[in-house]
Amino acid sequence: MKGFKFAGIHAGIKKNGLRDLGLIFCDKPATAAALFTKNRVMAAPVILGKETIQKGLCQAVLVNSGNANCFTGGQGLLDARATAALVAKEFDISEDLVMVSSTGVIGAPLPMDRFKSGIPQLKKNIHTDSLEDFAQAILTTDTCQKIVKEKGSIETPQGPKSFSIMGVAKGSGMIRPNMATMLAYVLTDADLTATDLHRALLAANERSFNRITVDGDTSTNDTLLCLASGESGACIREGAGLAVFQDLLEKVCFQLGKMIVKDGEGATKVIQITVRGGKTQADAFKAAEAIAHSNLVKTAIYGEDPNWGRITAAAGRSGALVDPNKMDLYFEKIPLVLKGCWLGQAAEKKAALIMKAPEINIVLDLNLGDKTDGFLFCDFSENYVKINADYRS
């Protein structure tokens, strides 16, 4: 990716010897846009990030895993500022151009000595080819790195200009769509204004990260940051060019979101629930959200049981306008309920075979209008309980 370098090291924040401190560095200040958690219990780096992003510029992003720097009071905010200052000094840039993120256990103070010794090591290891080291350094209970790369092209008076978008994320538990439920960093070498970048990120987030859930739990540290270096020479300002960029950005964000759901703590299956036929957009959203968050639905899917009653009941309590006598329910293309009537054991046996697949599509048609919405979610296994029971051990 033109204009960006990366590093990821083990600084000693985690006890397991894995990488736990990462850095994204831009050759020059990049146009920046960001979205943050809506949780009122905000981590110190989120509070600081909301201040820093106001300028619409960023040159360095420091991320640590193993410690959330949340619920750490005034000292936590001082520590977040101090880590940004350490990066600024080491790379000889303005402190105002440094974003910081943290993820891990809530309530413990940052081990500042690890940052003081680790940040110089990041500088020694910074390289254009070290993206995977960075991706590893930001993980917590994740079982895999999450990296997506895409290329696009726009038409200009000088001919076609190509550009790239790349995304890296972490997320496995504490995942609920209430902004952008994870840490995610999306980089592009296209040239955009801060206003256009923010607008594009907001729309992409709404159709990707805001439509995923693992456990319905909104984190205190969620951050989605997008940086545009402009190094490709693809100047995107209006019309068709912005539309092309928007489509590619949404593609990257959706793929990252799906990776997060697939890597959900204890997950064995990924499910796409689509609710169509809503009278309003809000109705379609509410019904899909309630189904995706239902533990009874999630456990049934883990048990490979096409328990249609749990799905229709979740829609019924969602607050959406529904009429049980008009509902249709499909597992893939197999109808299980039509106009509110169960189609019997034969249909259920066909649906049960579909439940064995690692990815499942479920469609609920409310037959009350023309609005559609949907969520990506995962099943709920006993391993989710084990992972979170042992998290601080």
Whether the Cβ atoms of residue 131 and residue 147 lie closer than 8 Å to each other: yes
DSSP β-ladder status, 183-188 and 223-228: parallel
State the pLDDT at residue 15.
87
CA distances from 303 to 45, 197, 337 (A): 40, 43, 20
State the pLDDT at residue 208.
94
Comparing CA positions, the residue from 17, 20, 16 lying closest to residue 8 is 20
Give me the residues of the chain with pLDDT under 50, please. Answer: none
Whether the Cβ atoms of residue 103 and residue 183 lie closer than 8 Å to each other: yes
Long-range contacts of 331-338 (CB under 8 A, 24+ apart): 331/306, 331/355, 331/360, 331/361, 331/362, 332/360, 332/361, 336/306, 336/308, 337/308, 337/312
Question: CA angle, 350 as apex, 303 and 294 as ends, to 5°?
Answer: 35
- The verdict on whether 181 is a catalytic residue reads yes
Q: Is 0.75 topped by the overall pTM?
A: yes
Domains of the chain: 4-262 (3.60.70.12), 270-389 (3.10.20.340)
State the pLDDT at residue 179.
62
Q: How many angstroms separate the CA atoms of 1 and 3, rounded?
A: 6
Tokens 């809000």 sit on residue: 282
DSSP β-ladder status, 371-378 and 212-213: parallel
Q: How many angstroms separate the CA atoms of 259 and 256, rounded?
A: 5
State the pLDDT at residue 181.
53
State the pLDDT at residue 331.
97
Q: How many angstroms separate the CA atoms of 324 and 218, rounded?
A: 31
Active-site entry in 31, 83, 181, 312: 181
Give DSSP secondary structure letters for 115-144.
HHHHHHHHHHH-BTT-HHHHHHHT-SS-SS
pLDDT in tens, 285-320: 999 999 999 999 999 999 999 999 999 999 999 999
